[in-house]
Chains A and B, each alone.
Chain A
Amino acid sequence: MRLILPIVLAAVTVVLIAVALTSANATGKTVGISAGSSFLTPKPTTPDQALSNLLLNAKRRNWDEAFNSVSNAQSPNKKSFIQDWTGSYGSLRAFSALEGYDIRPLHITNDEAQMRVRLHWTTPVGPIEDVRDFRLAREGEIWKTVWPKSDMPIVPSQVIPVTYLRWDLVSGGSDDEWGAKNIDAPRVRIVSMNPLDFAEGAVVLGEVVNEDTIPAFVNVTATLVDGSGNAIDEETSFDKIDHILLPKQVTPYRIDFPKVKFKDVKNVRMNIKATLVPASADPVIGVMNQKVDPDYQGKAVLRGDLFNESGQTVNIPHVIASLYDNNGKVLWVADGYVERALLPQTSAPFSIEIPKNMASKVQNFHVVVNQYSMGRN
């Protein structure tokens, strides 16, 4: 009788451990696991299970197991397979972690399957969702994922001559003669401002131009004021702006006020701050093949390719777009990060979702590329 309770407890413990190891949830959060083996991974007898195993191992960074579940292991080498998940060249993916995934079958036959996966990444710039289609093939009794060939460009060794152009700032010391080293702040101007209510709250958006002949670091602040003259909220454009503006350059900006509606707002006070900063005119990034297309869910998406015309790697490209109506009014400002680094003289695709209620009104767009390059920002 005395042994019954310990035996029951031991049995329950074993059962719970087994359940925990075998039912690793696809969308569940993995906390504190950076690497490890899933020694109780179920046998991949179905496409769904095979892909689940691959994604779970990728999430746990268990690369040996993950690579074993790839069908064409000769085609992608292990290094490029891992780089697909972990990023390279200091890209955004290199600072991200796979948090979860949702698998949806598209097409399944006896020997082949097409699956669509929504990957949920945690990144330093907030959560990012990535949608990828995977093809799986049956090999005997088990299913394996056919890993696509890496599309990471290989840049050959070369010398790219660049006419280097930058602005340095010489600032005076405290013992300088009064008035001897006054340099005016750059002259910048808000060229448009459009307040509107959106699903998550109030939004103020528009465009800013640098009218000066020197670069400017700009930041736009908006204060919402109620009928009594009291400030309801004050927010800045944060990362929804290209902060460093070269002469005559235009950037969109967007300022979000969560949980505020414009019916409660009497006035909006705008403030733009421009500071003189050292800056470089490079890299030049072209935005090619821009067009609005529907995505797999039917949502309107602004797509295109970024082309790095310079000779230096852009680690984290950030795309910001002004969307205009047929009168040239800024309807919306959308942005998105590109998870892959942009190597010199290469392209990388981008896509930005356009809100459903705006898609039909968008007649034109202006895309700018903000960039973070290691050692320069």
Chain B
Amino acid sequence: MRPLLRYGVVCLALSLAPAWAQDITAPKSAVAGEQVTLSIAGSGKATFYLIGPGISNTHEINLGEEIKLRGDVLRTAGDYQVVVCGDPCKSATFYVMPAKPFSISFLVHPSRVPVSQSDAVSGVAFPFDQFHNLVLAPVPISFQLASGKASLLNKTETTKSGAAWFRTASSKSAGPLQVTAAFQDISAKRVVQQVASEPCNLRLTGQRNATGILVQTEPVHDCSGNPVPDGTIVSFTANAGGVKSTVDAPIKKGIARAQMDANGAAVISGASGVVMGNELHMGAK
């Protein structure tokens, strides 16, 4: 209830204040977290109000003395208004700017990307000061992308309205892509997992054993030579005299393997995603 009452009093004071605004001397701008000194002309006692983003404050002051506003009440960037109510009320405004960059919020998309894709990786960086104010002043952000020991991108972008960004292609090699956004000694790191694209040249081999046919792939790679991730499903199909058998087998250690139940002559094929493998023609047992 009390803050509401205080707010009401301040609003009322503001409605009366404009005519005497020039009697308060305030800096045109200040920096978040730093002390600000105000001087107010006059004599006698008055009530001092400070209204800003996320703060409203009141004190009894002596007119004619300097008012020092501590840094901890000016942490949030934005417009602040000072109202002094003696006889009559006076007001002034000043702007608190964000302090120097203290941290970088860094968003990178996507978290997984197939290799050799153009414009596939993008990132945006936002510099913030130590009080979590977005730094709107231009800040040069250095973006660095490295895959293993190879550097894929190293460029500096200056923030516009508090944001700097990049967009680039994924590399040809699967593996983690280290993405860094840095300004002076501040940096933020993210990792994008570069994964193999669709399998390429799926090759099958098979041999009869006691329980049927053991069929397996050769090590499965994409067209850039990256091993397709373990767990990727390879669908094996055996057709033997109008009877079909299928096994969805995951790749393990680079190879998918399945036991097919077929005693007679059988044609075995394999597929992973949209990629078909070669056909195996197995004779009868």
- The 8 A CB mask of A171-184 against B (1 = contact, 0 = none) is 00000011110111
For the complex, what is the distance from the CA of A271 to the CA of B127, rounded to whole Å? 37
Chain-A contact segment, one of B42-50, B94-102, B158-166, B246-254:
B246-254
Please report the number of residue pairs spanning A and B whose Cβ atoms sit closer than 8 angstroms: 102
Give the Cβ gap from B226 to chain A, nearest Cβ, in Å.
Answer: 11
Give the Cβ gap from B224 to chain A, nearest Cβ, in Å.
Answer: 15
> Among residues 271 to 328 in chain A, which have CB atoms less than 8 Å away from a CB atom of chain B?
281, 284-291, 304-305, 307, 309
**Is A209 located at the chain interface by the 8 A CB criterion?**
yes
Give the Cβ gap from A95 to chain B, nearest Cβ, in Å.
Answer: 27
- Contact check: which of A180, A249, A287 meets B246 at CB < 8 Å? A287
**Is B272 located at the chain interface by the 8 A CB criterion?**
yes
Q: Is the CB–CB distance between B233 and A248 below 8 Å?
A: yes
Chain-B contact segment, one of A104-112, A130-138, A211-219:
A211-219
**Is A366 located at the chain interface by the 8 A CB criterion?**
yes
Q: Is the CB–CB distance between B195 and A213 below 8 Å?
A: yes
Q: Given A165-B252, A291-B242, verify A246-B190 contact (CB < 8 Å).
A: no
For the complex, what is the distance from the CA of A179 to the CA of B231, rounded to whole Å? 28
Q: Is the CB–CB distance between A211 and B273 below 8 Å?
A: yes
**Is B106 located at the chain interface by the 8 A CB criterion?**
yes
For the complex, what is the distance from the CA of A209 to the CA of B273, rounded to whole Å? 8
**Is B243 located at the chain interface by the 8 A CB criterion?**
yes
Q: Is the CB–CB distance between B110 and A184 below 8 Å?
A: yes
For the complex, what is the distance from the CA of A92 to the CA of B272, rounded to whole Å? 32
When distances are taken between beta carbons in the complex, the residues of chain A under 8 Å from B111 are: 182-184
| Chain A, residue nearest B238 (CB) | A288
Give the Cβ gap from B282 to chain A, nearest Cβ, in Å.
Answer: 15
Q: Is the CB–CB distance between A288 and B261 below 8 Å?
A: yes
When distances are taken between beta carbons in the complex, the residues of chain A under 8 Å from B208 are: none
When distances are taken between beta carbons in the complex, the residues of chain A under 8 Å from B273 are: 209, 211, 248
Q: Is the CB–CB distance between B245 and A286 below 8 Å?
A: yes
- Contact check: which of A165, A183, A214 meets B250 at CB < 8 Å? A165
Q: Given A180-B190, A309-B259, verify A246-B250 contact (CB < 8 Å).
A: yes
Give the Cβ gap from A184 to chain B, nearest Cβ, in Å.
Answer: 5
Give the Cβ gap from A371 to chain B, nearest Cβ, in Å.
Answer: 12
**B230, B248, B253, B258: which has the most chain A beta carbons within 10 Å?**
B248
Q: Is the CB–CB distance between B232 and A247 below 8 Å?
A: yes
When distances are taken between beta carbons in the complex, the residues of chain B under 8 Å from A215 are: 231
For the complex, what is the distance from the CA of A250 to the CA of B195, rounded to whole Å? 20
**Is B73 located at the chain interface by the 8 A CB criterion?**
no
- State the main secondary structure of chain B at its contact with A: strand
Q: Given A182-B111, A212-B112, A248-B273, verify A289-B245 contact (CB < 8 Å).
A: yes
Give the Cβ gap from A207 to chain B, nearest Cβ, in Å.
Answer: 13
When distances are taken between beta carbons in the complex, the residues of chain A under 8 Å from B230 are: 165, 281
Q: Is the CB–CB distance between B260 and A286 below 8 Å?
A: yes
**Is B105 located at the chain interface by the 8 A CB criterion?**
yes
**Is B229 located at the chain interface by the 8 A CB criterion?**
yes
- Contact check: which of A180, A284, A291, A304 meets B248 at CB < 8 Å? A284
| Chain B, residue nearest A365 (CB) | B244
For the complex, what is the distance from the CA of A307 to the CA of B245, rounded to whole Å? 10
For the complex, what is the distance from the CA of A366 to the CA of B106, rounded to whole Å? 45
For the complex, what is the distance from the CA of A114 to the CA of B141, rounded to whole Å? 85
**Is B107 located at the chain interface by the 8 A CB criterion?**
yes
| Chain B, residue nearest A210 (CB) | B233
Q: Is the CB–CB distance between A179 and B258 below 8 Å?
A: no
For the complex, what is the distance from the CA of A101 to the CA of B243, rounded to whole Å? 33
| Chain B, residue nearest A290 (CB) | B244
Q: Is the CB–CB distance between B245 and A290 below 8 Å?
A: yes
- Contact check: which of B190, B258, B260 meets A284 at CB < 8 Å? B258
Q: Which residues of B pack against A, CB within 8 Å? A: 105-112, 188, 190, 195-196, 229-235, 242-250, 252-253, 258-261, 272-273
5 smallest CB-CB distances across A and B, nearest first, come from A281-B250, A288-B261, A286-B247, A179-B107, A248-B273
The 28 listed contacts between A and B (C-beta, < 8 Å) are A163-B252, A163-B253, A165-B230, A165-B231, A177-B188, A178-B105, A179-B105, A183-B111, A184-B109, A209-B273, A213-B195, A213-B196, A213-B231, A213-B232, A246-B231, A247-B232, A248-B273, A284-B248, A285-B247, A287-B247, A289-B243, A290-B244, A305-B261, A309-B247, A309-B249, A309-B258, A309-B259, A367-B246
